[in-house]
Amino acid sequence: MAYVPLADQEQELHHPHSWVTKYVWSQDHKVIAIQYAVTAIAVGVVALVLSLMMRMQLGFPETFNLIDPSEYYQAVTMHGMIMVVYLLTALFMGGFGNYLIPLMCGSRDMVFPFMNMLSYWVYLLSVLILMASFFVGEGPTGGGWTLYPPQTALAGTPGHDSGIVLMLISLAVFIVAFTMGGLNYVVTTLQSRCRGLTMMRLPLSVWGIFVATCLALFAFPALLVAAIMMLFDTLLGTSFFMPAIIESGTPLDHNGGSPVLFQHLFWFFGHPEVYIVALPAFGLVSDVLSVHARKNIFGYRMMVWAIIAIGALSFIVWAHHMYVSGMHPYFGFFFATTTLIIAVPTALKVYNWVLTLYEGDIRLNAPMYFAIGFIFTFIHGGLTGLFLGNVVIDLPLSDTYFVVAHFHMVMGVSPVLVVFAAIYHWYPKITGRMFHAGMAKLHFWCTFLGTYAIYLPMHYLGFLGVPRRYYALGATDFIPQSAQDLNTAISIAALFVGASQLLFFINMLWSLRNGKKADPNPWGAASLEWQTAETPPIHGNWGAELPTVYRWAYDYSVPGAHKDFIPQNTPESVETTVDEQHFDPDLDKSKADL
Amino acid sequence: MSLLKTLGDKSWERKGIIGGLKPVGAFDTAPEKVALVFFLVVASVVFSLFTVSYFIRMELPDWTPLADPAKLWLNTGLLAISSVLFQWARNISSSTSTRNIKTAFIGGGVFAILFIAGQLSAWQDLNNAGHYIASNPATSFFYLFTAVHAVHLLGGLWVWSKSSIKLLSGSEPKEVRLSIQLCTLYWHFLLIVWLVLFAVLSNT
């Protein structure tokens, strides 16, 4: 019997017969990707609203009184956890991973489509469990997104009854969902590539998502273990993490547990989590930069090595989040050193992005705005990370707004800019329509300048010693009135950035119906997902035959070539005579003005 | 070394078709097996972190070692028999004669069920002796380890039950060969995990 590649096994494909099986219980990776993305963005909007409520409280403490101190802590907790896990992780992996991996690998679908579908519905269940905590008992947990015991479980913390339980159950369910999806992404990348597509011919988007998935598969267990043990402590009265403690004069039943053990487990997950979010962003932004600069990505091989090196190193830096928890100086020294070492491959990537732009034929399309904006915010957030990675600098800055500014720049704003770059970049392929370019660029400037207006002053507040997590600063000697005024300005900027996201939503929805019909390959990209016969790609992605790959994904502006990109599925013999159906220099020029 | 060779490839220089229909660098096995191996690594991380937590928690002063129920030896024997029967089923599934395959495969699952029943009985004994889950961290870990291990086993039994129903309803053994192979690998893994957990519990 002739060998049928896994990427082409028709019997693995589920063929939908009704609207419900096509769009609801769908096993098509593209539909699942959109389901993931819409759910993640919807829950992200909840987190955005929570942050705006916090900013209104901080900027105008005596004016609005929208939330009381307990609700403030609940908003802090839910905002953090939703943004990191339920928005960014789910969107990069479940959204972009699902959409792009099979297409970029030249496959018809994920290897296990049913499990892929199950992954989404279990993810949705985890989101619903988390959202349910708003409506039960005292509401969601207010223990901070790190959920540190013992305070998370004590009566003084909002949501100590059912909120924390629902949070932990939701996280455990999320991990189950992710594991099902993650196994799919890994196995599809390894086993289901089309003919000729070697690992080193994969676009960096796939490399980023692939390595991040491996990281997540090995890091989420730490969170699962911590969550299970914390559930035991909360529900069954065990003392894994809960120490002997007296609450309102009454000794609790717990005795001898180790809160620091929880911190180690949490951050053993928590730091790789930073790269679980960052690596897909690195990959996606590399592809966007390369396509719109009409240049191959600079140092492709080193970019792959850097992704792998960052992934491996991310497992041995976790305790830099715990310098103030009390640790042996040598322990701190070790983690400070590893933290500085991880900056090397990260910086290498930044240099390569900048060198990709150098002397490129740059097309300032909307996705490129966001991609270049990302380089700025990432350098900014990365450099402040070097400050905080050093023990002696971290100690005074710990728990100040400097930390808030740092992590929002590096893993809030930066990945979100990539999310926007990627959505705008692939929107024509996903929907078959072009978005409104002017509105997208306006969205960029509002977001980019607005977020700088929020986070740049926060560094200064941090240097002043303004503590994070406080409901109101009140009158203190070390916080001058100017800091209060700065807080007000930050809040106004935050409200502005929040409102400007409407530009994005309006653009996306309006363009679905009214956008100009998109070319199959409007940016002139070389990777496989742009070479499908149909736009948007049909169920099964490819026509009768799978593509065959003859080259890497970055053949742009090749000297002597007929046009300024050569698709991966173009044989060498015809690269100079490819027809112009996907690329027209004049058309391309007009697109440059998009 | 092939990994280094793969990562050292200067893909921008090489044009043309590389490799055959099977993707270069793909494992020469069923995708389900690749997924299972990845899952086993994930599960290993889970059990490793529980074990590390156990050793860290053990150092704290309120720890009182627990005398593990003698029944655990019997239970270990049951799980070992289960694993042996799965291996037998696997061997039969790759040979030409498929006689006894139902006995071996279904027997393997039944012994796993007996193992779980044995573990529950050990819980009962501990409970009767006044060792409740929150009595002491050593007891808490005993219940935690055995519960998490049993949950993994129950997941395996779900797959086993589906394949058993297929076998009993007259499916050809070759139709469930892959499932038998995967179950066998999974059972061996859970036996090794249990042996490690048992060693940790009884020696501390």
- What radius of gyration, in Å, describes the C-alpha atoms of chain A? 24
Helices (H), A11-149: 19-23, 29-59, 69-81, 98-104, 113-132
Q: Which pLDDT band holds residue B175 (cuts at 50, 70, 90)?
A: confident
Mean pLDDT of chain A: 93
Task: Flag whether pLDDT at A587 surpasses 50.
Answer: no
Q: Residues A229-253: what's their mean pLDDT? A: 94
CA distance A189 to A523: 25
Query: Which residues, other chains included, contact B78 with Cβ-Cβ below 8 Å and sequence gap of 6+?
Result: B111, B112, B114, B115, B118
Chain A residue closest in CA terms to B12: A552
Is residue A6 one of the residues assigned to a domain? no
The separation between the first and the last C-alpha atoms of chain B, rounded to the nearest angstrom, is 40
Chain A interface, mutation test: which of B15, B56, B142, B146, most A Cβ atoms within 10 Å?
B15
Q: What distances in angstroms separate CA A522 from CA A56, A425, A437, A590, one per listed residue? A: 42, 9, 13, 11
Chain A interface, mutation test: which of B13, B27, B42, B55, most A Cβ atoms within 10 Å?
B42
Q: Which pLDDT band holds residue A582 (cuts at 50, 70, 90)?
A: very low
pLDDT tens, position by position, A151-199: 999 999 999 999 999 999 999 999 999 999 999 999 999 999 999 999 9
Three-class SS of residue B187? helix
Question: What pLDDT was estimated at residue A476?
Answer: 82
Question: What pLDDT was estimated at residue B69?
Answer: 86
> Which of B8, B35, B53 is closest, CB to CB, to A225?
B53
Question: What pLDDT was estimated at residue B148?
Answer: 98
Asked whether the beta carbons of residue B39 and residue A236 sit closer than 8 angstroms, the reply is no
Task: Quote the minimal CA–CA distance from B24 to chain A in Å.
Answer: 6
Task: Flag whether pLDDT at A410 surpasses 90.
Answer: yes
Question: What pLDDT was estimated at residue B187?
Answer: 98
- Does residue B158 belong to the interface with chain A, where contact is any CB pair within 8 Å? no
Helices (H), chain B: 2-7, 31-58, 71-94, 101-128, 137-168, 177-202
CA distance A284 to A277: 11
CATH number at residue A294: 1.20.210.10
A151-165, A336-350, A367-381, A473-487: range with lowest mean pLDDT: A473-487
Count the neighbouring beta carbons within 10 Å of the beta carbon of residue A432.
17
Tokens, residue B122: 């050990």
Asked whether the beta carbons of residue A192 and residue B24 sit closer than 8 angstroms, the reply is no
Task: Flag whether pLDDT at B98 surpasses 80.
Answer: no
Q: For residue B35, list chain A residues with Cβ-Cβ distance below 8 A.
A: 111-112, 183-184, 186-187
Task: Quote the minimal CA–CA distance from A65 to chain B in Å.
Answer: 42
Question: What pLDDT was estimated at residue A12?
Answer: 53
Is residue A437 one of the residues assigned to a domain? yes
Task: Flag whether pLDDT at A314 surpasses 50.
Answer: yes
Q: Are residues A566 and A551 in contact, defined by beta-carbon separation less than 8 angstroms? A: yes
Question: What pLDDT was estimated at residue A575?
Answer: 59
Query: Which residues, other chains included, contact A164 with Cβ-Cβ below 8 Å and sequence gap of 6+?
Result: A141, A143, A147, A152, A153, A230, A234
Q: Residues A379-395: what's their mean pLDDT? A: 95
Angle at the Cα of A259 (from A254 to A264), degrees rounded to 5? 145
Task: Flag whether pLDDT at A591 surpasses 60.
Answer: no
Q: For residue B27, list chain A residues with Cβ-Cβ distance below 8 A.
A: 190-191
- Running DSSP on this structure, what letter comes out for residue A61? T
Q: For residue A111, list chain B residues with Cβ-Cβ distance below 8 A.
A: 31, 35
Q: Which pLDDT band holds residue A327 (cuts at 50, 70, 90)?
A: confident
Task: Flag whether pLDDT at B21 surpasses 90.
Answer: no
Q: Which domain holds residue A155?
A: 30-243+256-592
Question: What pLDDT was estimated at residue A3?
Answer: 61
Asked whether the beta carbons of residue A258 and residue B57 sit closer than 8 angstroms, the reply is yes
* % residues pLDDT > 70 (chain A): 95
CATH architecture of the domain with residue range B31-58+70-202? Up-down Bundle (1.20)
pLDDT tens, position by position, A508-557: 999 999 999 999 999 999 999 999 999 999 999 998 899 999 999 999 99
Chain B residue closest in CA terms to A296: B12
Asked whether the beta carbons of residue A187 and residue B38 sit closer than 8 angstroms, the reply is yes
Chain A interface, mutation test: which of B3, B44, B49, most A Cβ atoms within 10 Å?
B49
* % residues pLDDT > 90 (chain A): 86
Q: Are strands A246-247 and A250-251 parallel, antiparallel or unpaired?
A: antiparallel
Counting beta carbons within 10 angstroms of the beta carbon of residue A419, is it exposed (0 to 12), middle (13 to 18) or buried (19 or more)?
A: buried
CA distance A124 to A112: 19
Question: What pLDDT was estimated at residue A10?
Answer: 54
- Running DSSP on this structure, what letter comes out for residue A7? G
By C-alpha distance, which of A131, A130, A129, A140 is closest to A162? A140
The domains of chain B are located at 31-58+70-202
> Which of A200, A225, A256 is closest, CB to CB, to B61?
A256
Is residue A153 one of the residues assigned to a domain? yes
pLDDT tens, position by position, A418-469: 999 999 999 999 999 999 999 999 999 999 999 999 999 999 999 999 999 9
Asked whether the beta carbons of residue B35 and residue A304 sit closer than 8 angstroms, the reply is no
Q: Which pLDDT band holds residue A583 (cuts at 50, 70, 90)?
A: very low
Exposure pattern of B193-204 as b/e (b: 16+ CB <10 Å)? Answer: bbeebbebbeee
Which of the two residues, A284 and A589, has the higher pLDDT score? Answer: A284
Asked whether the beta carbons of residue A239 and residue B45 sit closer than 8 angstroms, the reply is no
Helices (H), A294-364: 300-313, 329-357
Asked whether the beta carbons of residue B62 and residue A201 sit closer than 8 angstroms, the reply is no
> Which of B6, B12, B17 is closest, CB to CB, to A300?
B12
B185 half-sphere exposure, CB direction, 13 A CA radius: 16
- Structural domain count of chain A: 1
- Does residue B45 belong to the interface with chain A, where contact is any CB pair within 8 Å? yes
Q: Residues A398-424: what's their mean pLDDT? A: 97
Q: Are residues A555 and A524 in contact, defined by beta-carbon separation less than 8 angstroms? A: no
- Does residue B117 belong to the interface with chain A, where contact is any CB pair within 8 Å? no
Asked whether the beta carbons of residue A199 and residue B57 sit closer than 8 angstroms, the reply is no
Q: Which pLDDT band holds residue A580 (cuts at 50, 70, 90)?
A: very low
The separation between the first and the last C-alpha atoms of chain A, rounded to the nearest angstrom, is 51
> Which of A112, A232, A550 is closest, CB to CB, to B15?
A550
- Does residue B18 belong to the interface with chain A, where contact is any CB pair within 8 Å? yes
- Does residue B65 belong to the interface with chain A, where contact is any CB pair within 8 Å? no
Residue tagged 């090595």 (tokens): A305
Q: For residue A554, list chain B residues with Cβ-Cβ distance below 8 A.
A: 12
Q: For residue B175, list chain A residues with Cβ-Cβ distance below 8 A.
A: none
Task: Quote the minimal CA–CA distance from A236 to chain B in Å.
Answer: 7
Is residue A77 one of the residues assigned to a domain? yes
> Which of B6, B34, B50 is closest, CB to CB, to A225?
B50
By C-alpha distance, which of A287, A293, A205, A591 is closest to A434? A591
Tokens, residue A472: 């109101």
Is residue A248 one of the residues assigned to a domain? no
Task: Quote the minimal CA–CA distance from B105 to chain A in Å.
Answer: 25
Is residue A14 one of the residues assigned to a domain? no
Q: For residue A6, list chain B residues with Cβ-Cβ distance below 8 A.
A: 23, 26, 31
Task: Flag whether pLDDT at A8 surpasses 90.
Answer: no
Q: Are residues A180 and A255 in contact, defined by beta-carbon separation less than 8 angstroms? A: no
Tokens, residue A544: 């009768």
Q: Are residues A314 and A271 in contact, defined by beta-carbon separation less than 8 angstroms? A: yes
Question: What pLDDT was estimated at residue A460?
Answer: 96
pLDDT tens, position by position, B48-73: 999 999 999 999 999 999 888 889 99
CA distance A29 to A109: 6
